Amino acid sequence: MSQLLISEVAPRDGLQSIASVMPTADKCRWIQALAEAGLKEIEVASFVPARLLPQMADAREVVQFARGIAGLQVAALAPNIKGAQAAFEAGVHKLTLPVSVSEAHSLANVRKTHAQAIEEVRQVVALRNARYPAVAIEAGMSTAFGCTISGAIGDDQVMRLAHAVAECGVDEIGLSDTSGYANPAQIRRLFRRLQQEFGGKAGGAHLHNTMGLGLANVVAALDVGVTTFDSSQGGIGGCPYAPGASGNIVTEDLVFMLEAMGYDTGIDLDKLLAARQILANALPGEALYGHTAAAGLPKNFRQAASA
Amino acid sequence: MSQLLISEVAPRDGLQSIASVMPTADKCRWIQALAEAGLKEIEVASFVPARLLPQMADAREVVQFARGIAGLQVAALAPNIKGAQAAFEAGVHKLTLPVSVSEAHSLANVRKTHAQAIEEVRQVVALRNARYPAVAIEAGMSTAFGCTISGAIGDDQVMRLAHAVAECGVDEIGLSDTSGYANPAQIRRLFRRLQQEFGGKAGGAHLHNTMGLGLANVVAALDVGVTTFDSSQGGIGGCPYAPGASGNIVTEDLVFMLEAMGYDTGIDLDKLLAARQILANALPGEALYGHTAAAGLPKNFRQAASA
């Protein structure tokens, strides 16, 4: 079966929502272990002011370390032009720019209207084009499937903003279930439309597990041809500005499901579970999620793919 | 969209795997509340010797109470002819007979070879035909997707045993993921084949959440036309003889997902969550699972079905 890309976001999305600050040396060891387990893209940091997110104060150092890992696509998030500038300077291969479909969430999260958010994207793309042409930019459409503040989000609303963002010149448009409210029917509908309207610019799925539907939504996304999935080791993360929204889909469970289904993720589950242990040791007392780690891998489970 | 049947199994599958015994009066209040929430079929008890499962010692009383609830299909499980006889006498509308595809699991669970298990099914059907013709019999093919003892289970192995059981004259053949090892590709493959080979006798899906894939497997089963799903309030349950296998899919999360997708389950989520409170109060200290109860229902979430 076709190969998929799993983009690990725990060092960014996970660590930014955990109060304690993980020491830089631990982060680097952990990222190294994740890469050794076979993860080919890792979002390693967020470029935001250290006074807002002290967990990300070492973003530059972490990016520079990660760039030394052969074959790894090093991604980072930036909420604005200032963060993007710092990320480019640090040497990211890929930049993620979140843009909230819910304007209420955008105002709460980054204090920007849609017009202001789009203007920021335009500036970031202009800077990239002028000075860092090798860096890929993906816009992540946050709250695309529902918002804790505004409730349900219309498909048309998502697509309208996505088109405005695409016109700024980003390389990819991904859809993020920031609230974890997406359902499989909605996932199929919206990703199908994304592919129809954006072709090669249609990006991946960033899914949360708030309502327990994370992996069900992955199955729905696979059905309509999505091949890139964000996930988080131990399921850590969730948007700190969206109350009640917690828990990315768990990388270990995602990889188990995909491998059991016969997909080739290129990831070694035993090494992935070993990397999880580094995370657990570095953040004692923090809750890690995931069924695979708790239940263990079923005996000869790969046989179920072709039984 | 089409209507689905959710068969609530917590009073049987859930309570039999919890050490403390729920008082009969609490069970009855809880079953009443589940029916009032809109559940149309409830597996209320297991007819097994009270010395083995004291939690089920009041099976007869509970069945008789449940029969008094208008419109409710009262189901019970029996592992053998003796239990079936007691269930028929108590007045069940439907009897579930588990038959393990894994012979090792069958021997550990009910101390029967396949030949002995099939002979028992034959006797139960003969008794039903002779004296209780109105009672429906569903055979549940346990460990159909993998076994904690034997590991992977071949599709052909499942179908061979299912045909032998069908030839005994049962009304329906369901597939049970006793171990919780099923993956969505396997679910689609096996239920498609069940429908092709058994037509109108093809039954529903009994899914566990051991590996966190329960709802993902529901999505896969829906894709191939499965319309009946067992689930358990609070996710309680799992086979007590399959080590490490725990947690049915959670009724509240299942109903949330289906309703968000636009299916009509006929179930009132607020009343379902109220019934869960009765369970929580009756079993203080027992772990209940489920994301919907923890996160709460998203604002106007039904709009996502048609956005």
Q: Are B286 and B20 a contacting pair, CB within 8 Å?
A: yes
Q: Across the interface, do A304 and B146 touch by the CB < 8 Å criterion?
A: yes
Q: Which of B227, B204, B232 is nearest to B141 (CA)?
A: B204
Cα separation, A48 vs A97, whole angstroms: 12
Option in A219, A290, A303 nearest B219 (CB)? A219
pLDDT at position B245 is 46
In one letter, which amino acid is A36? E
What is each CA distance from B64 to B15, B24, B44, in whole angstroms?
Answer: 18, 12, 10
Q: Are A274 and A211 a contacting pair, CB within 8 Å?
A: no
Site from B159, B190, B213 to mutate, A interface, most A CB atoms within 10 angstroms: B213
A68: its two tokens: 């030394």
Average pLDDT, chain A: 94
Domains of chain B: 5-305 (3.20.20.70)
Q: Across the interface, do A256 and B211 touch by the CB < 8 Å criterion?
A: yes
Summarize pLDDT for B126-180 with one digit per residue, the tens: 999 999 999 999 999 999 999 989 899 999 999 999 999 999 999 999 999 999 9
Q: Using an 8 Å CB-CB cutoff, list chain B residues near A261.
A: 183-186
* Closest B-chain CA to A155: B307
How near does any CA of chain B get to the CA of A20, in Å?
24
| B242, pLDDT greater than 60 | no
Q: Across the interface, do A219 and B184 touch by the CB < 8 Å criterion?
A: yes
What are the DSSP calls for chain B, one per residue? Answer: --B-EEEE-IIIIIGGGSSSPPPHHHHHHHHHHHHHTT--EEEEEE---TTT-GGGTTHHHHHHHHHTSTT-EEEEE-SSHHHHHHHHHHT-SEEEEEEESSHHHHHHHHS--HHHHHHHHHHHHHHHHHH-TT-EEEEEEETTT-BTTTB---HHHHHHHHHHHHTTT-SEEEEE-TTS---HHHHHHHHHHHHHHHGGGEEEEE-B-TTS-HHHHHHHHHHTT--EEEEBGGG----TTSTT---BPBHHHHHHHHHHHT-B----HHHHHHHHHHHHHHSTT-----HHHHH-PPTTGGGGG--
Site from B101, B178, B181, B211 to mutate, A interface, most A CB atoms within 10 angstroms: B211
Q: Are A220 and B179 a contacting pair, CB within 8 Å?
A: no
| B20, pLDDT greater than 60 | yes
State the pLDDT confidence band at A3, using cuts at 50, 70 and 90: confident
Option in A253, A291, A298 nearest B146 (CB)? A298
Q: Are A56 and A16 a contacting pair, CB within 8 Å?
A: yes
In one letter, which amino acid is B126? A
Q: How many CB atoms lie within 10 A of CB B167?
A: 12
DSSP lists the bridge partners of residue B268 as: none
Q: How many CB atoms lie within 10 A of CB B274?
A: 13
Q: What is the mean pLDDT of residues A57-69?
A: 98
Q: How many CB atoms lie within 10 A of CB B254?
A: 27
Summarize pLDDT for A126-174 with one digit per residue, the tens: 999 999 999 999 999 999 999 989 899 999 999 999 999 999 999 999 9
Q: Which of B28, B147, B168, B239 is catalytic?
A: B239
Cα separation, B58 vs B76, whole angstroms: 12
Q: How many CB atoms lie within 10 A of CB B260?
A: 26
B179: its two tokens: 């171990």
A239 counts as catalytic: yes
* Closest B-chain CA to A216: B216
Q: Are A170 and A121 a contacting pair, CB within 8 Å?
A: yes
Q: Quote the distance between the C-alpha of residue B1 and its chain's center.
A: 23
Q: Are A297 and A269 a contacting pair, CB within 8 Å?
A: yes
Q: What percent of chain B has pLDDT over 70?
A: 97
Summarize pLDDT for A67-78 with one digit per residue, the tens: 999 999 999 999
Q: Across the interface, do B244 and A296 touch by the CB < 8 Å criterion?
A: yes
Option in A211, A215, A292 nearest B216 (CB)? A215
Summarize pLDDT for B261-291 with one digit per residue, the tens: 999 999 999 999 999 999 999 999 888 889 9
* Closest A-chain CA to B182: A304
Q: What is the mean pLDDT of residues A231-238?
A: 91
> What value, to the nearest 5°, has the Cα angle with vertex B301 and ends B296 and B302?
130
Q: What does DSSP say about strands A41-46 and B94-100: parallel, antiparallel, or unpaired?
A: unpaired
ipTM score:
0.94
How near does any CA of chain B get to the CA of A221, in Å?
11
How near does any CA of chain A get to the CA of B115, in Å?
23
pLDDT at position B190 is 98
How near does any CA of chain A get to the CA of B235, in Å?
12
Q: Across the interface, do B183 and A291 touch by the CB < 8 Å criterion?
A: no
* Closest B-chain CA to A179: B298
Residue-wise burial string across A204-235, b where 16 or more C-beta atoms lie within 10 A, e elsewhere = bbbbbbbbbbbbbbbbbbbbeebebbbbbbbb
Counting Cα atoms < 13 Å in the Cβ hemisphere of A131 gives 10
Q: Using an 8 Å CB-CB cutoff, list chain A residues near B218.
A: 216
Task: Name the residue with higher pLDDT: A2 or A216.
Answer: A216
Q: Using an 8 Å CB-CB cutoff, list chain A residues near B211.
A: 253, 256-257, 291-292, 295, 298
A162: its two tokens: 């996505």
Which residue bears the tokens 């708790």?
A294
pLDDT at position B303 is 85
Left if phi > 0, otherwise alpha if psi is -120 to 50, otherwise beta: which for A144? alpha
How near does any CA of chain B get to the CA of A201, in Å?
23
B123: its two tokens: 């006797």
Summarize pLDDT for B118-134 with one digit per residue, the tens: 999 999 999 999 999 99
Q: Using an 8 Å CB-CB cutoff, list chain B residues near A146.
A: 298, 301, 304
Q: Are A175 and A208 a contacting pair, CB within 8 Å?
A: no
- CB contact set of B24 (below 8 Å; sequence gap of 6+): B58, B61, B62
Which residue bears the tokens 């309703």?
B259
Q: What is the mean pLDDT of residues B80-86?
A: 97
